[in-house]
Amino acid sequence: MSEDSEGSSARLTGVWHGIYTYPSLMSVSFVATLIESERSLSGSTHEPCTVGARHGDTLSATLWGSRQDRSVTFVKTYDVAGPHYQNDVAYEGTLSRDGTEIEGRWSIPPGSSGKFLMIRATGKAAAVARKAMQRA
């Protein structure tokens, strides 16, 4: 398998740790659970509420989208109503060659946008981390 095709064959199903950044450079961390079925994606996210009356609460959202080779697109719809979380958020990213990162941009019409990065540990890296934790 060529290096370029490795990431395209990696399944996206799993838990991903991510961060997205606003134009003001404020960043928000999140955890996403993705389920890939052929080219379709679904899943959910959990993240801290950073604005509004629910500041500090945990927000959840539903994801749906698709994947074509290393191109990943999905829409995030928050489960809560409110002025700060009522619009869908579109994500467009590229899966790394090793299948462990998705990096790209998010956008909310009519003009808000920023960057995002999602990372998952490979099986070998996760096993090394578990052993290190057991020794501590």
User: Cβ(113)–Cβ(105) under 8 Å?
Assistant: yes
Domain range for 90 is: 3-135
For residue 85, the model assigns a pLDDT of 82
Count of domains observed in the chain:
1
For residue 70, the model assigns a pLDDT of 96
Q: State if pTM tops 0.85.
A: no
What single-letter DSSP state applies at residue 4?
A: H
Output the CA angle 100-102-106, nearest 5 degrees. 160
Domain harbouring 83, CATH code: 2.40.128.120
Q: Which residue has the higher pLDDT, 124 or 52?
A: 52
pLDDT at 128 over 50: no
For residue 135, the model assigns a pLDDT of 53
pLDDT at 10 over 80: no
User: Cβ(116)–Cβ(108) under 8 Å?
Assistant: no
Paired tokens of 90: 């579109």
pLDDT tens profile 30-85:
999 999 998 899 999 999 988 776 777 899 999 999 999 999 999 999 998 677 78
